[in-house]
Amino acid sequence: MEMILTEDEFRKSCQALSSAAVKRLQIIYIVIGSICCLCGIAFILSPIFSLVEGLIIAIAGVVLCGILNLNLMVQTKKDVEKAWKAHPELHDIVIHITFFEDHFTQTTPTVSSNADYTDLKKIIETETNYYLMTGETSGAIVVKDRCASGLIDFIQNLQRRINS
């Protein structure tokens, strides 16, 4: 299987690798905003504070949640752009991946590597790709459109073995 590492493929891989961490932060930000909203409601119900003070706190919670999530999306996009620009040697590089019974090889014009299937930490599946992860941020990108049906079945079996 052959693929070209375009900027779009690079972005998709970064998104797939960071999606769990980004989702955790989004949940934390939503919890923070919800706590502010609950405090606002408590202020509204309290005889000590006015309705206006409670509404301000509740609205501030919603706005804070929105700002934090927007900042997270913008910062994530900037980080991906920075990483892409920092590695011009990866731009449009051709990667050949060959699958064998017990391992796969990944070859570029400058380097070749082997990975045993037993060394895979996880396989991330997205709508368009598989990411065969040998480390936290290292692995192979397998574009589904370039796979024969037998290869997709093989990767799905690997995925079931790793996840069990």
Q: List strand residue ranges (DSSP E) for 34-144, in order.
A: 93-99, 103-107, 112-116, 122-125, 129-133, 139-143
CB neighbours of residue 72 within 10 Å? 15
Per-domain residue ranges of the chain = 7-88, 92-163
CA atoms of 134 and 140, how far apart (whole Å):
8
Q: Average pLDDT over the chain, rounded to whole?
A: 91
| 151 pLDDT above the threshold of 80 | yes
CA atoms of 115 and 102, how far apart (whole Å):
9
CA atoms of 56 and 164, how far apart (whole Å):
49
| 164 pLDDT above the threshold of 80 | no
Instruction: Identify the residue with better confidence: 77 or 149.
Output: 77
Q: What is the pLDDT of residues 103-125, one digit of tens each?
A: 999 999 999 999 999 999 999 99
CA atoms of 119 and 124, how far apart (whole Å):
15
What is the torsional sign of CA 108, 109, 111, 114? positive
* Phi/psi of residue 40, nearest 5 degrees: -60, -45
The continuous run of DSSP H or E covering 69 comes out as helix 51-86
**In the block, which residue shows the tokens 């700002």?**
67
Q: What is the pLDDT of residues 44-67, one digit of tens each?
A: 888 888 888 888 888 888 898 899
Q: Two tokens at 25?
A: 């932060």
